[in-house]
Amino acid sequence: MSSSLQYHSIENFTTETGVICNDIELSYEVFGQQLHTAPIVLVNHALTGNSDVASTHSGWWNGLVSKGNLIDTERYTILSFNIPGNGYDKKPGNLIDNYKDFTARDIARLFGRALSEFGVQKLHTIIGGSLGGGIAWEMVVLFPELATNLIAIATDWKAADWILAHNKVQEQILLNSKKPVHDARMMAMLFYRTAASFKDKFNRSINENLGIPNVESWLLHHGFQLENRFHLKAYKMVNHLLSTLDILRDRGTFKEVAPLIQANIIQIGIDSDFFFVPDENRDTKKQLDALQIPNTYKEIVSIHGHDGFLVENDQLKKLLQDYFK
């Protein structure tokens, strides 16, 4: 299953911070059925992800999105936008110089506007993990009738203090390190995995060729890989967006905002997530229950922490099968 990058221009867009953009070029991919011929699933990618959801060799979620799979390309149209400025289109002119001009809500508005200009009035599901899931929360508040289902995985409707703290340290590395993307990614991997995951994978083994622990060579490899495929401007942008997640900003209290959502709310947490900690999801469920808003919370059991949503495909399929029958 493969697709090709397509482009759509959004004209005359004003960001939350008041910056006027004459033309923003959104890149996106469509997998499965042709647009307007089948139920549409919008997949919002995570921080270092992209629109390549389902291609056979490089699709980052093809363990869930492929022929005969949970999100079956024979039954659904799968649409995924690239977050503007993430660099996946390889066009230097589309990188964003001042990353603080934009918020996650701006990205949600851009995605929604593109859908409207495509003539899409209804989505079967908006699904996303991590940053993508936070943008999905924003979309179901901005466009209450757009989606039948919101599936938010390893994410939250807000950037909790723990996320804000992590992102501030990331920003300091990006602004001050001699190898900013490389070093920021190394640090981030400590939050995306767990001590148990490291022990299971490495168990204090040594890389004989390098003469260092395998865990060190693995972290250096991740830093090197991201440095090679991610522009500094792009990493600053997506890291900043993560800090701007908050469906309540300038809207009111949770009690006032949550009832605006018409989509079925399905949260999937990960019991060992050290980044978007599941206690926040459980608290959201309590608040939704108190407001008598129908919602579901399910949990992945994994030693792999935040990255569990990219690793535990079998569990995810089981937890979500009822929504894609």
Helix/strand/coil for 129: strand
* Rounded percentage of the chain residues whose pLDDT exceeds 90: 98
Q: What would the two tokens of residue 66 be?
A: 């492929």
Span(s) in the chain for CATH 3.40.50.1820: 6-157+247-323
Span(s) in the chain for CATH 1.10.1740.110: 162-240
User: Cα separations (Å) of 307 from 143, 179, 312?
Assistant: 29, 24, 9
Torsion over CA: 297, 299, 305, 307 (sign): negative
Q: Is the pLDDT of residue 245 over 50?
A: yes
pLDDT for res 275:
98
Domain at 6-157+247-323, CATH class: alpha beta
pLDDT tens by residue, 122-138: 999 999 999 999 999 99
Domain at 162-240, CATH class: mainly alpha
pLDDT for res 254:
98
Average pLDDT over residues 275-292: 98
Q: Is the pLDDT of residue 294 over 50?
A: yes
- Which distant-in-sequence residues (6+ apart) come within 8 Å of 113 by Cβ? 10, 13
This prediction's pTM: 0.97
CA of residue 248 relative to chain centroid, distance? 19
CA atoms of 139 and 122, how far apart (whole Å) = 12
CA atoms of 236 and 95, how far apart (whole Å) = 10
CA atoms of 52 and 79, how far apart (whole Å) = 10
Average pLDDT over residues 129-158: 98
What are 133-136's contacts with CB under 8 Å, separation 24+?
133/44, 134/104, 134/158, 134/159, 134/242, 134/245, 135/44, 135/83, 135/104, 135/107, 135/108, 135/111, 135/241, 135/245, 136/42, 136/44, 136/108
pLDDT for res 222:
97
- Assign 325 a pLDDT band (cuts: 50, 70, 90): confident
pLDDT for res 1:
46
- Assign 180 a pLDDT band (cuts: 50, 70, 90): very high
